[in-house]
Amino acid sequence: MKKKLLYFLSLLVMLCLPQKVMSFDIKVLSKNLNVNGYISQSLGICFAQPEDWHPVSNYTQIRLEAGMSLTDHTNIYGIFEFTADSIYNMRNDSGEFKKYMPGRKYMQTSVEQYDQWGELVKEFYVDIAAGKVDFRLGKQSIIWGESDGIRLLDQINPLDIRREFVMWDFENILVPKWMVKAEYYPGFENKSLKDLSLEMVWNPGDIQESRIGFASQGTLRGLPYAGPWGYPQAFIPKPIVDGVLSVEKKSTSIDNSEFGCRLKGSIGKTYLTLNYFQGFSHDFVCKYTKSDILDPMGNTLMTIPVGPVAPDFSLFAPGGPFEGLSVRAHLDGIYRRVRFVGFSINRDLSDFILWQQTSPVLRVEALYSFAQSFNTGGDRLTDLAWVTTKGIVKKDQLRFMVGFDWQVWCRFLNDHKTFFISPQFLQFRVIDHDTELVQLPYYFNKYGQIDPWKIPEVQNYFTILVNTGYDNDRILPEALWCHDFYNNAQFIKARVSFSYGDHWRPEIGVHYFTGDTETYKSFGAYDDRDQIYIKIKYQF
């Protein structure tokens, strides 16, 4: 009963809020501190098993934003966010939890997950305009590039995808860092060159990683439990019965500095950026360290260090020397350095295409990444090949995106507002792809066979985003479809939000995934997470 009360707690809090509260000012040191934000509550219901719909999440989110002008040239801004999922507290004794989410305990709040109250401070920075240079100092997110959904140049801040993968609003899943951004505006312009500026970014060592987790307990351990939106446990065949993944935590150190710069400007009608970044990858690569041979009681009999020869499954087969024994595999998750150059372009194509008084806007983005680390299957494609010393290789990678934004009239569907249509084609190409690259730890399928989630030489994606507004933007439908050609996987994120009044913002939506569930390749990892959700937000 106690648990069920939690269902309604946050809704009650929202209902108790005064109906007319808008953003408000507080006097702080004789300055106006403007405060606004929202409280939201959402319930997700999984329908991947049609015969057994069940709730999978019950998120409560509180976000406060506050800003103040200290002087004519100095502003301070903070975003404070608290997120919690109470579904586990309420439903962990139910049948569907035991059936579909075995071993999962409960989802921590955003604070508990990273065990520090500082997590409540989502962003906090000072803006200083000093002549021709604008500084932003503090915990912040810096967004580069032009592509939506799948990120290319946008490599500075990682994402927190423990809750609903990338289905949450973008600003909610950004993981900010303590950084310094300086943007220099030389004031130089002529007829063809305008808006010239040079942006420099320096991260003095606050290294953050993509926030991920496992969906449940299983053979592999080492990542936090992230609930239904964690990665599924990889299929690890016997004789491995235990996989210990030790994910590196980078210390805050000047040695771990990251640096980026971006030259921006408009040449004629084209807005162009040239980008350079060197820092750390947000995603780890696995490095095998050792294998413990375990007796039937789980005691370590011997340890086999990493070496040119990996333990072979056949040794554990009936009649083999290790018959009846099992293996505990130890792997490190390592965040390697990345370095890339790239560019982005956008251009209104009204000179070439003008239809019903709207024109498409071309978006292009490309990057060339140097010596990017990949896991490889090594020389042998059998057994535990990936636990050999050749587990990691470095390859250059080219990524590009071509897309359009086009506001198109479809008057038979909506005679009041255009449809915003935004298709994108993306290609990732590994240069000198001479060995099998894999996405570890997804190496075996559920039958215990080697069927790795491969990273091919060329990987293509297509996405399309469509939205419009009805009833003076009080009904806002939106749909995003993303297709991974190589893995034949896709997802659809569709929602309808309602903007009646100044405060309440209800929303209903669906997240639908298809893909390979035998190894959990690509979006197949979430194939059994299809959900509908309902959200209600009170904003002020």
Partner 1 sequence: MDWIISSKEKFFEVFLVLLLVGTILVSPINAQELPQWLKAQRDYIKQSGDTQFESFIKKMETPVALKYGRLWKELLGYDAYELVVDSKIATDIKPGVVINSKNLKDFPGAKQLLPESLYRCVSGEDYLPIAEIKVVPTVCYYWNDNHTEWSKKNKATCSIDPQTGELKGWIAGTPFVHPKNGEELIHNIDRFQKGLDQFSFAPIRYFLYDRSWKLERTQTFHGYWRNYWGRTVVPPMPVDEKNKDIFEKGAVIYFAPFDLKGWTAIRTRYKDPTREDDLIAYIPGLRRIRRLSGANVFDPLPGSDVIWEDWGGNWLKLSNIIWPRDFKIVGEEEMLSPVVWDQPAEINIETGAVKDRFERRKFWVVELKNKNPKHIYGKSVYRIDKERFQDIYDEYYDQKGRLYRTWHNGMGFDYEKGHSGWRWSNECDKINKHYTQIENVTNIDDPSFDDTYFDLRFLNQMAR
Q: Does 271 engage in binding with partner 1 (CB under 8 A)?
A: yes
CB 315 within 8 A of CB 307: no
What is the nearest approach in angstroms of partner 1 to the Cβ of residue 461? 18
The sign one gets for the Cα dihedral 371, 373, 374, 375 is: positive
- Name which position in 77, 100, 288, 343 contacts partner 1 (CB under 8 A): 77
For the residues of 260-326, what is the DSSP string, one character each?
EEEEEEEETTEEEEEEEEEEE-SS-EEEEEEEEEE-TTS-EEEEEES-SSPPPGGGGSTTSTTTT-E
* Residues 250/280, Cβ–Cβ less than 8 Å: yes
Q: How far is the CB of 229 from partner 1 (least distance, A)?
A: 20
Residue 356 interacting with partner 1 (CB under 8 A) = yes
3-state secondary structure of 341: strand
**Under rule CB under 8 A, residue 65 binds partner 1:** yes
State the binding string over 434-473 for partner 1 (x if CB under 8 A, else -). -----------------------------------x-xxx
- Which tokens go with 306? 């990493």
User: What is the Cα–Cα distance from 130 to 139, expressed in whole angstroms?
Assistant: 20
Q: Does 360 bind partner 1 (CB under 8 A)?
A: yes
Cβ atoms of 337 and 284 within 8 Å: the answer is: no
Are 84 and 110 a contacting pair, CB within 8 Å? yes
Residue 405 is a binding residue for partner 1 (CB under 8 A): yes
Residues 132-171 that bind partner 1 (CB under 8 A): 134, 141, 143, 146, 148, 169-171
Supply the minimum distance, in Å, between the C-beta of residue 131 and partner 1. 12
Do strands 31-46 and 54-71 pair parallel, antiparallel, or not at all (unpaired)? antiparallel
Return d(Cα 405, Cα 382) in angstroms, integer: 46
- Binding residue (CB under 8 A) for partner 1 from 96, 119, 183, 248: 183
The binder of partner 1 chosen from 7, 13, 33, 37 (CB under 8 A): 37
Asked whether position 348 contacts partner 1 by CB under 8 A, the answer is: yes
CB of 9 to partner 1, least distance (A): 22
**Torsion angle defined by CA atoms of residues 85, 89, 90 and 92, in that order, rounded to the nearest 10 degrees:** 110
Least spacing, CB of residue 481 vs partner 1, in Å:
18
CA distance 359 to 169: 27
Asked if 194 touches partner 1 (CB under 8 A), the answer is yes
| Piece of 108-116, 326-334, 495-503, 525-533 that binds partner 1 (CB under 8 A) | 495-503
Among 156, 361, 367, 385, binds partner 1 (CB under 8 A): 361
Q: Which residues make up the interface to partner 1 (CB under 8 A)?
A: 22-23, 36-38, 65, 67, 77, 127, 129, 134, 141, 143, 146, 148, 169-171, 174, 183, 185, 191, 194-195, 197, 264, 266, 269, 271, 346-348, 350, 354, 356-361, 405-407, 409, 416-418, 469, 471-474, 499-503, 505, 539-540
